[in-house]
Amino acid sequence: MALPSNPGFDAFRLPEAHEELRQAVRSLAEDKIAPRAAEIDATGEFPHDVYDALASSGFHAIHIPEEFGGEGGDALATCLVIEEVARVCASSSLIPAVNKLGTTPLLVGGDRGVQEAYLPRVASGEAMFSYCLSERESGSDAAAMRTRATPDGDGWVLQGQKSWITNAGVSHYYTVLAVTDPEAGPAGISAFVVHADDEGVSFGAPERKLGIHGLPTREVLFDGVRLPGDRIIGAPGTGFRTAMTTLDHTRITIGAQAVGIAQGALDAAVAYAKEREQFGRPIAGFQGVQFMLADMAMKLEAARSLVYVAAAKSERGDADLTFFGAAAKCHASDVAMEITTDAVQVFGGNGYTKDYPVERFMRDAKITQIYEGTNQIQRIVMARQLLGS
């Protein structure tokens, strides 16, 4: 077999447009977001100024197609935005991540009417969109949800609650999964769009979290919320499939967030190791520290490559996306936890204080191993794909 004279090595290099996007986001992040990161973490307030900066550049929801007024960024573009923002502030990186998570059910399962009703509002920066799947008693076991949507004339009445909802109370719109046929199991679950100002919608107190303080996490409560018929996403009974398809695509963005957090921690550790002196020389001159930094960088680049491959598969809709989405999220978040912990170690006692950013990176990294499916669940997903079960 004759080999091609010019093998496709460019497959291992980002396209020029994506490199330009990375630089644009990095510039904005370093100028507008990095100086605010510690304050956002300390106050726990939603960073409206950061949101405005991202929205003015189209980075707040870059994934929305041009036909709905968006930038039309592909899956890799979305990952680059999230990665570069997370490199300086994990909380702020949830702005594009939450918008993608909340609107992807409309893109993969909604009809044209529901897409046209909501996607332009998110694309313009007018509104944010959150995702409501988990409940108090159904986190990993999502199909065991108890929130009910009961038919009522040409609409539905929603009753129940959702837990651990990122950006609850700030987002204008919510994709909500609810049981519409209790006898049908997962096939009896449907997806709906709920407005924050719908009568009967309320929010619990903000959770007191380890990290990602800048975006609120709260319960969303539904007390007889009347939904018109055009608020359903897809046909009745398709909601669980839509929810799982959504996660196949959006888990990759959590991998990107984890990569960004890890990169920020590594950058800080390298800079500190060059400056911090012990025994008469910078600690970067000691082999023990050098090996730590080398291992951190090696693991990070492997995680980044896996996330980018998964993003390409998401864009193409490859048959093995479920495996790669789970693998990218799982591996990158495990690596982020390792790297941020090691970064604190490089800083020594200083790393354990809020005077330096690495303790924030470590706290923020932990959630990437948990949300959008714990890493134990990701391993189950991968195993089932391998075994065909």
Closest by Cα among 379, 341, 367, 344 to 93: 367
Cα(21)–Cα(124) distance, integer angstroms: 19
4: which DSSP letter? Answer: P
Closest to 143 (Cα-Cα) out of 115, 110, 185, 80: 185
Q: Which of 287, 284, 286, 291 is nearest to 270 (CA)?
A: 284
Cβ atoms of residues 125 and 60 within 8 Å? yes
- Residue 353, class by beta-carbon neighbours within 10 Å (0-12 exposed, 13-18 middle, 19+ buried)? exposed
Cβ distance 349 to 276 under 8 Å? no
Q: Go through 171-200 and write b for each residue having 16 or more CB atoms within 10 A of its CB, e for each that does not.
A: bbbbbbbbbbeeeeebbbbbbbbbbbeeee
Which residue in the list 83, 84, 219, 372 is annotated as catalytic? Answer: 372
| CA separation, residue 224 to residues 143, 150, 249 (Å) | 22, 10, 32
Q: Angle at the Cα of 166 (from 162 to 170), degrees rounded to 5?
A: 100
- Integer Cα distance of 178 and 17 in angstroms: 40
Tell me which H or E stretch contains 221. strand 217-227
Element (H, E) at 164: strand 155-166
Do residues 310 and 321 lie in contact, with contact meaning Cβ atoms separated by under 8 Å? Answer: yes
Q: How far is CA 354 from the centre of its chain?
A: 25
Q: How far apart are CA 246 and CA 102, in angstroms?
A: 9
Cα separation of 116 and 67, whole Å?
Answer: 9
Give dist(CA 68, CA 78) in Å, integer.
17
Known active-site residue 66: no
Query: Which positions are catalytic?
Result: 372
